[in-house]
Amino acid sequence: QSALTQPASVSGSPGQSITISCTGTSSDVGGYNFVSWYQQHPGKAPKLMIYDVSNRPSGVSNRFSGSKSGNTASLTISGLQAEDEADYYCSSYTSRSIVVFGGGTKLTVL
């Protein structure tokens, strides 16, 4: 059982927007603005998409955005494209000074 809870799957049509949630506790997501999101295509290493809740690394499309409310963080992808189909993982810094992951969400672009 993962430390952070994500939906197993989400789907959307090209051009639409989707949101993936990541629920933790006050000891992780709710206690720090240190949530990150990673994209992983099959057979590839994860790629950082969002850090510190809502910041995008250089080179990541502005179609990806992040937010947080209480113990739940969210990743929103707007203008869905076929290449966005992948697994997405959230992570959070915790009160134990380690980083934990969510269980992952499979995004299907219909």
Chain residues 24-53 in contact with other proteins, contact rule CB under 8 A: 32, 34, 36, 38, 40, 45-48, 51-52
Question: Binding pattern to other proteins, positions 71-110, x when CB under 8 A?
Answer: ----------------x-x-x-x--xxxxxxxxx------
Long-range contacts of 35-38 (CB under 8 A, 24+ apart): 35/66, 35/68, 35/73, 35/90, 35/91, 35/92, 36/90, 36/91, 36/92, 36/99, 37/64, 37/66, 37/75, 37/88, 37/89, 37/90, 37/91, 38/88, 38/89, 38/90, 38/91
Q: Toward other proteins, which CB reaches closer, 39 or 74?
A: 39
Binding flag, residue 10, other proteins (CB under 8 A): no
Q: Give the residues lining the site for other proteins (CB under 8 A).
A: 2, 32, 34, 36, 38, 40, 45-48, 51-52, 57, 87, 89, 91, 93, 96-104
